[in-house]
């Protein structure tokens, strides 16, 4: 496995060693290793079924319990191996140290509660010391760029647009001040202008709060200018890894090349969309 | 307390006029029937005697109080007519229906069942008991029974179905098979057996009905919990570090309440009609309990006294129809899948 940069001196925030995920007979992820430093942004790129989303869920063991799904390897968060922790310890890590935002904002919010109540739930779970939850809710809603939070926090999810809902999801993730934010295709369900807004927001927040971000995407277009490093996954394995600029300029693996060539470019006349020829990739 | 969506559903329910009106008629009738003692009774509501004021529907007075010889309860109907009572400034105000549901009014002319008259509006049955009073008390009994049954059945159904759907796996599979075997038990035999051992009381009958009442709802709840536990927002709550219990009662349960609301009126209908059927067959509450099933049975027995069959069938029909309207409206208002064509 090629590694483009020297190992950092400080121990990384998150270190994944030989992570394997099996669903019954099928191996979804086959011994991947990567690390995430403090304040770093790592993008995991790959197509559907490449194992990127289950890898992200495995970070806090959000997968079905053993008979259905078996995990191997180790996931080190600081000096704790997440695969060896018990349920209560996992509950304390989820949301508090590793927070998630998902692909589909409209179904990620409980339709029966106001967005304020749902952010309050996150506060109640992980920050019981907060004396004035409403002030905290208003603060995070303002942080993620929701105008008029005093009025908006009483809204129900269906009263918000998709982009607003995703901002609320980000607010829910941020209110517990996590060390790592896992964004699992956060813009896939949104239209292109909103995508750009959400990516800008994430970039902005990452710098403001100094947290690490693990961005899962199939779209190389949003990796540029956002991620420090990129991992390319194909069929459950990491096929290429390196700094974003290097990967985008000089991709080594044929799959990476193929993925990059799939990005439609402005001003380029193209008769047909580029597709990936799998016959050359699969041994 | 209620979310915007729930409020919207309530508004929609209210806009379905037939259901809304039926709902309030049923609620009103049931609340009224809770005061049956003051609506149908052969004791006066208020009476004056010898300068004192008495409330016989609320309090017991012996015959001695009003110049009689015995310490048993005063016979107010006889007292009303007696010259001594009237001489001492006696005066009585009776409830609307001037009859007790359990009393035999054998002093009427002819032989029972008596035809409707000014004294007994809907006539009397074969033991000369007032039909109107018995209908009223029977309504209270049926509704109380069906309501208790439906509420308890809903609680059990939600718990059993919810656990099955949430746990899944072998627990769900085993539960499903057990329920299938359980629901195949012949209900009538169970009622007859348990009734003959422990007596056919309200509590025993309620228990036996409850053994089977929850099954229908548990299927729906199993499906709902199964669906909801895989929704993104439950997974998002999990990713937020919420525990199992919290996800169950805050994220899944409130979202799974629609089948409970839409099925409840139909569970009520089921409760009323099965109790009536059981009483009709003679395996229900023992005589002289004022029950609709027993009255229907008399109606069939004395076809020459049509007021018996007519009044009990009409009462049963009206109640079930109103409850059906409520159920139909609730389903239209709360179930997003059904059309809102019913107005």
pLDDT in tens, A238-259: 988 889 888 888 888 888 888 8
| Interface contact flag, B240 A125, Cβ < 8 Å | yes
Chain B residues whose beta carbon lies within 8 Å of the beta carbon of residue A159: 4
> Where is pLDDT greater, at A161 or A269?
A161
Chain B residues whose beta carbon lies within 8 Å of the beta carbon of residue A153: none
Interface predicted TM-score (ipTM): 0.81
Q: Kindly report the nearest CA distance between residue A106 and chain B, in angstroms.
A: 9
**Distance from C-alpha of B100 to C-alpha of B56, rounded to nearest angstrom:** 13
Residue B120 inside a domain? The answer is: no
Residue B342 inside a domain? The answer is: no
Centre a 10 Å sphere on the Cβ of residue B38 and count the other Cβ atoms it contains. 15
In total, how many domains does chain B have? 2
Query: Quick one: pLDDT at residue A1?
Result: 44
* A5, burial (CB in 10 Å: exposed 0-12, middle 13-18, buried 19+): exposed
Chain A residues whose beta carbon lies within 8 Å of the beta carbon of residue B224: none
Q: Name residue A229's beta-bridge partners.
A: A42, A243
Query: Quick one: pLDDT at residue A266?
Result: 66
Helix or strand or coil: residue A235?
coil
Are the CB atoms for B239 and A100 separated by under 8 Å? yes
Are the CB atoms for B224 and B165 separated by under 8 Å? yes
| Interface contact flag, B4 A95, Cβ < 8 Å | no
Chain A residues whose beta carbon lies within 8 Å of the beta carbon of residue B255: 110-112
Q: Kindly report the nearest CA distance between residue A108 and chain B, in angstroms.
A: 4
| Interface contact flag, B232 A62, Cβ < 8 Å | no
Q: Kindly report the nearest CA distance between residue A231 and chain B, in angstroms.
A: 23
**Distance from C-alpha of B310 to C-alpha of B303, rounded to nearest angstrom:** 10
Claim to verify: residue B9 and residue B87 sit in the same structural domain: no
Helix locations, chain A, DSSP H: 52-58, 87-93, 105-108, 115-126, 133-143, 149-152, 162-174, 192-209, 244-249, 254-261
- Taking only residues 251 to 270 of chain B, the set having a beta carbon closer than 8 angstroms to any beta carbon of chain A reads 251, 254-255
Are the CB atoms for B104 and B127 separated by under 8 Å? yes
Q: Does A163 touch chain B (CB under 8 A)?
A: no
Claim to verify: residue B241 and residue B312 sit in the same structural domain: yes
Length of chain A: 283
Query: Quick one: pLDDT at residue B337?
Result: 54
Query: Quick one: pLDDT at residue B215?
Result: 93
Claim to verify: residue B242 and residue B156 sit in the same structural domain: yes
The residues, ordered by sequence, that sit 6+ positions from A99 with a Cβ below 8 Å of its Cβ are: A172, A173, A174, A176, A178, A180, A181, A182, B239, B240
Residue B47 inside a domain? The answer is: yes
* B296, burial (CB in 10 Å: exposed 0-12, middle 13-18, buried 19+): buried
Are the CB atoms for A244 and A222 separated by under 8 Å? no
* B67, burial (CB in 10 Å: exposed 0-12, middle 13-18, buried 19+): middle
Q: Does B306 touch chain A (CB under 8 A)?
A: no
Query: Quick one: pLDDT at residue A271?
Result: 66
Q: Kindly report the nearest CA distance between residue A91 and chain B, in angstroms.
A: 4
Are the CB atoms for A131 and A163 separated by under 8 Å? no
| Interface contact flag, B233 A108, Cβ < 8 Å | yes
**Distance from C-alpha of A206 to C-alpha of A212, rounded to nearest angstrom:** 7
DSSP state of B54: E
**Distance from C-alpha of A62 to C-alpha of A75, rounded to nearest angstrom:** 13
Are the CB atoms for B160 and B218 separated by under 8 Å? yes
| Interface contact flag, B6 A112, Cβ < 8 Å | yes
Q: Does A180 touch chain B (CB under 8 A)?
A: no
Q: Kindly report the nearest CA distance between residue B340 and chain A, in angstroms.
A: 20
Query: Quick one: pLDDT at residue B336?
Result: 59
Highest mean predicted confidence (pLDDT) among A28-32, A278-282, B99-103, B219-223: B219-223
Claim to verify: residue B188 and residue B138 sit in the same structural domain: yes
Q: Does B15 touch chain A (CB under 8 A)?
A: no
| Interface contact flag, A60 B239, Cβ < 8 Å | yes
Claim to verify: residue B188 and residue B260 sit in the same structural domain: yes
Claim to verify: residue B204 and residue B67 sit in the same structural domain: no
From B13, B312, B325, B306, select the one nearest B139 (Cα to Cα). B312
Claim to verify: residue B88 and residue B168 sit in the same structural domain: no
CA dihedral B308, B312, B314, B317 (to 10 degrees): -150
Are the CB atoms for B130 and B99 separated by under 8 Å? yes
Query: Quick one: pLDDT at residue A223?
Result: 86
Q: Does B10 touch chain A (CB under 8 A)?
A: no
Q: Kindly report the nearest CA distance between residue A14 and chain B, in angstroms.
A: 17
Are the CB atoms for B22 and B322 separated by under 8 Å? yes
**pLDDT value at A158 more than 70:** yes
Query: Quick one: pLDDT at residue A64?
Result: 83
Indicate the residue of A94, A104, A121 with minimum beta-carbon distance to B232: A104
Q: Percent of chain A beyond pLDDT 70?
A: 92
Claim to verify: residue B58 and residue B144 sit in the same structural domain: no
Residue B116 inside a domain? The answer is: no
For B239, list phi and psi in degrees, rounded to 5. Answer: -65, -20
Q: Does A94 touch chain B (CB under 8 A)?
A: yes
From B147, B114, B125, B122, select the one nearest B31 (Cα to Cα). B147
Claim to verify: residue B189 and residue B77 sit in the same structural domain: no
| Interface contact flag, A62 B250, Cβ < 8 Å | no
**Distance from C-alpha of A163 to C-alpha of A175, rounded to nearest angstrom:** 18
Residue B53 inside a domain? The answer is: yes
Helix or strand or coil: residue A59?
coil
For B338, list phi and psi in degrees, rounded to 5. Answer: -80, 155
Residue ranges, chain B, pLDDT below 70: 1-4, 335-343
Range of the domain at B80: 43-93
Residue B237 inside a domain? The answer is: yes
Residue B76 inside a domain? The answer is: yes
Claim to verify: residue B156 and residue B181 sit in the same structural domain: yes
**Distance from C-alpha of B243 to C-alpha of A141, rounded to nearest angstrom:** 25
Q: Which two tokens mark A42?
A: 């790592």
Query: Quick one: pLDDT at residue B342?
Result: 45
Q: Kindly report the nearest CA distance between residue A221 and chain B, in angstroms.
A: 26
Query: Quick one: pLDDT at residue A25?
Result: 86
Q: Kindly report the nearest CA distance between residue A142 and chain B, in angstroms.
A: 21
| Interface contact flag, B242 A121, Cβ < 8 Å | yes
| Interface contact flag, A91 B254, Cβ < 8 Å | no
Q: Percent of chain A beyond pLDDT 90?
A: 16
Closest residue in A to B5 (Cα) is A112
A-B interface: how many C-beta pairs under 8 angstroms?
A: 72
Helix or strand or coil: residue B175?
helix
CATH of the domain at B198: 1.10.3720.10
* B3, burial (CB in 10 Å: exposed 0-12, middle 13-18, buried 19+): middle
- State the Rg of chain B over Cα: 25
Claim to verify: residue B197 and residue B265 sit in the same structural domain: yes
Indicate the residue of B3, B232, B243 with minimum beta-carbon distance to A91: B243
**pLDDT value at A186 more than 80:** yes
Q: What angle do CA A242, A243, A249 make, to 5 degrees?
A: 95
Query: Quick one: pLDDT at residue B343?
Result: 42
Residue B340 inside a domain? The answer is: no
What does pLDDT average to over chain A?
Answer: 85
| pTM, full prediction | 0.82
Claim to verify: residue B27 and residue B58 sit in the same structural domain: no
């Amino acid at each position: 496995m090629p590694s483009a940069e020297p190992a950092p001196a400080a121990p990384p925030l998150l270190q994944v060693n030989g992570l394997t995920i099996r669903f019954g007979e099928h191996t979804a992820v086959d011994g991947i290793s990567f690390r995430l430093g403090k304040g770093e942004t790592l993008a995991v790129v790959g197509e559907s079924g490449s194992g990127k989303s289950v890898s992200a869920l495995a970070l806090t063991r959000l997968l079905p319990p053993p008979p259905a799904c078996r995990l191997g390897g180790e996931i080190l968060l600081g000096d704790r191996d997440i695969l060896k922790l018990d349920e209560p310890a996992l509950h304390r890590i989820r949301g508090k140290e590793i927070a998630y935002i998902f692909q589909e904002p409209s179904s990620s919010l409980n339709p029966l509660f106001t967005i304020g109540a749902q952010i309050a739930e996150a506060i109640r779970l992980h920050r019981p010391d907060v004396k004035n939850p409403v002030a905290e809710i208003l603060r995070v809603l303002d942080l993620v760029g929701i105008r008029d939070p005093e009025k908006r926090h009483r809204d129900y999810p269906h009263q918000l647009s998709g982009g607003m809902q995703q901002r609320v999801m980000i607010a829910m993730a941020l209110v517990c001040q996590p060390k790592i934010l896992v964004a699992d295709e956060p813009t896939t369900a949104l239209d292109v202008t909103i995508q750009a807004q959400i990516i800008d927001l994430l970039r902005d927040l990452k710098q403001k709060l100094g947290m690490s971000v693990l961005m899962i995407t199939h779209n190389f277009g949003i990796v540029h200018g956002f991620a420090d490093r990129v991992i390319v996954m194909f069929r459950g394995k990491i096929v290429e890894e390196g700094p974003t600029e290097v990967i985008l300029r000089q991709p080594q693996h044929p799959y990476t090349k193929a993925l990059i060539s799939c990005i439609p470019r402005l001003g380029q006349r193209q008769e047909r969309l580029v597709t990936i020829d799998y016959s050359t990739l699969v041994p | 307390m209620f979310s915007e969506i729930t409020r919207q559903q309530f508004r929609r329910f209210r806009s379905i006029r037939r259901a809304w009106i039926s709902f309030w008629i049923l609620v009103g009738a049931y609340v009224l029937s809770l005061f049956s003692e003051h609506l149908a009774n052969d004791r006066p509501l208020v009476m004056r005697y010898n300068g004192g004021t008495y409330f016989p529907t609320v309090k017991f007075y012996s015959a001695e109080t009003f110049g009689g010889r015995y310490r048993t309860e005063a016979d107010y109907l006889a007292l009303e007519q007696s010259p001594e009572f009237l001489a001492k400034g006696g005066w009585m105000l009776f409830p609307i229906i001037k009859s007790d549901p359990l009393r035999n009014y054998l002093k009427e002319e002819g032989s029972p069942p008596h035809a409707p008259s000014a004294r007994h509006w809907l006539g009397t049955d074969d033991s000369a008991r007032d039909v109107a009073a018995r209908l009223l008390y029977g309504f209270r009994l049926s509704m109380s029974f069906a309501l208790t049954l439906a509420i308890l059945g809903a609680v059990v159904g939600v718990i059993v179905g919810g656990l099955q759907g949430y746990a899944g796996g072998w627990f769900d599979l085993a539960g499903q098979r057990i329920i299938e075997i359980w629901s195949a038990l012949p209900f009538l035999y169970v009622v007859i057996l348990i009734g003959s051992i422990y007596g056919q009381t309200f509590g025993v009958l309620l228990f036996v009905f409850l053994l089977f009442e929850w099954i229908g709802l548990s299927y729906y709840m199993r499906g709902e919990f199964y669906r909801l536990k895989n929704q993104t927002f439950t997974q998002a709550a999990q990713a937020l570090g919420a525990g199992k219990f919290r996800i169950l009662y805050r994220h899944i349960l409130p979202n799974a309440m629609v089948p409970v609301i839409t099925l409840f009126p139909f569970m009520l209908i089921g409760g009323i009609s099965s109790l009536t059927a059981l009483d009709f067959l003679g395996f229900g509450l023992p005589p002289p309990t004022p029950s609709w099933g027993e009255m229907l049975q008399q109606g069939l027995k004395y076809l020459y006294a049509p007021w018996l069959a007519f009044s009990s069938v009409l009462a049963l029909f009206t109640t079930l129809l109103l409850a059906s309207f409520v159920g139909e409206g609730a389903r239209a208002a709360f179930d997003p899948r059904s059309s809102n064509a019913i107005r």
